[in-house]
């Protein structure tokens, strides 16, 4: 017997466990979800076990189908000797370097000017003219509603929308910006 909400989680019932190992992420969440929807233990063990056999069997079949190609690859590895390890290490090193560079580019892209809370307090107490935007998510804001005095509370999406509107109006405006007014920061 399955709970009513189990039909939403496992629309095909316990048979979903047959393919769970083949779907990244689903294999991790399927067992706890089966417990949540009160799947009978006998069904869970049967279908999860069969799914595991299918998953392992798939690799055995692929190995059997490509046995000749694997033998050819092994012969090349023996023929090239230590160069095989060098090529493998270079490939792994290149992949790691590529991921590292991509991460550094991402971090550089999201880097913005930051100040400490103490620096902000000194600036607020000094009466400096500034705009402080609190971009905490609504859930975080509801959990801790304390705000910085005078801060504008926006979600990141709302902030992006305002920036886009501001850029669009700046492009459509034919007049030059007033140099006496403070400029909004530009994120790239």
pLDDT tens for each residue of 16-73: 888 888 888 888 888 888 888 888 889 889 998 999 999 999 999 998 999 899 889 8
Crossing angle (nearest 10°) for helices 26-36 and 41-65: 160
Tell me, yes or no, whether 61 and 81 share the same domain: no
> How far is C-alpha 187 from the geometric centre of its chain's CA atoms?
21
Shared domain for 50 and 82, answered yes or no, is no
Under DSSP, the state recorded for 153 is E
- Angstrom distance (rounded) from CA 75 to CA 78: 5
pLDDT in tens, 64-106: 999 899 889 888 888 888 888 898 899 999 999 999 999 998 8
User: Structural domain of residue 81, as residue ranges?
Assistant: 67-110
185 in any annotated domain: no
Domains held by the chain: number: 3
Structure tokens at 84: 């095989």
What number of H helices and E strands is found in the chain? 9, 2
Q: What is the pTM of this model?
A: 0.39
User: Do residue 102 and residue 149 come from a single domain?
Assistant: no
Is there a single domain that holds both residue 27 and residue 61?
yes
């Amino acid at each position: 017997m399955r709970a009513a909400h189990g039909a939403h989680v496992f629309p095909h019932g316990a048979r979903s466990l047959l393919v769970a190992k083949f779907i990244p992420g689903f294999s991790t969440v399927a067992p706890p979800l089966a417990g949540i929807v009160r799947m009978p233990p006998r069904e869970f063990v049967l279908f999860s076990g069969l799914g595991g056999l299918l998953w392992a069997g798939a690799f055995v079949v692929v190995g059997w189908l490509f046995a000749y190609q694997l033998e050819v690859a092994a012969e090349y590895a023996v023929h090239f000797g230590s160069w095989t390890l060098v090529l493998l290490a270079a490939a792994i090193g290149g992949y790691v370097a590529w991921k590292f560079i991509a991460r550094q580019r991402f971090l550089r892209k999201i880097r913005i000017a930051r100040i400490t809370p103490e620096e902000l307090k000194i600036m607020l107490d000094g009466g400096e003219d500034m705009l402080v935007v609190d971009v905490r998510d609504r859930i975080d804001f509801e959990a801790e509603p304390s705000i910085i005095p005078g801060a504008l509370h926006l979600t990141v999406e709302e902030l992006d929308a305002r920036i886009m509107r501001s850029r669009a109006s700046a492009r459509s405006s034919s007049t030059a910006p007033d140099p006496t007014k403070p400029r909004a920061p530009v994120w790239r």
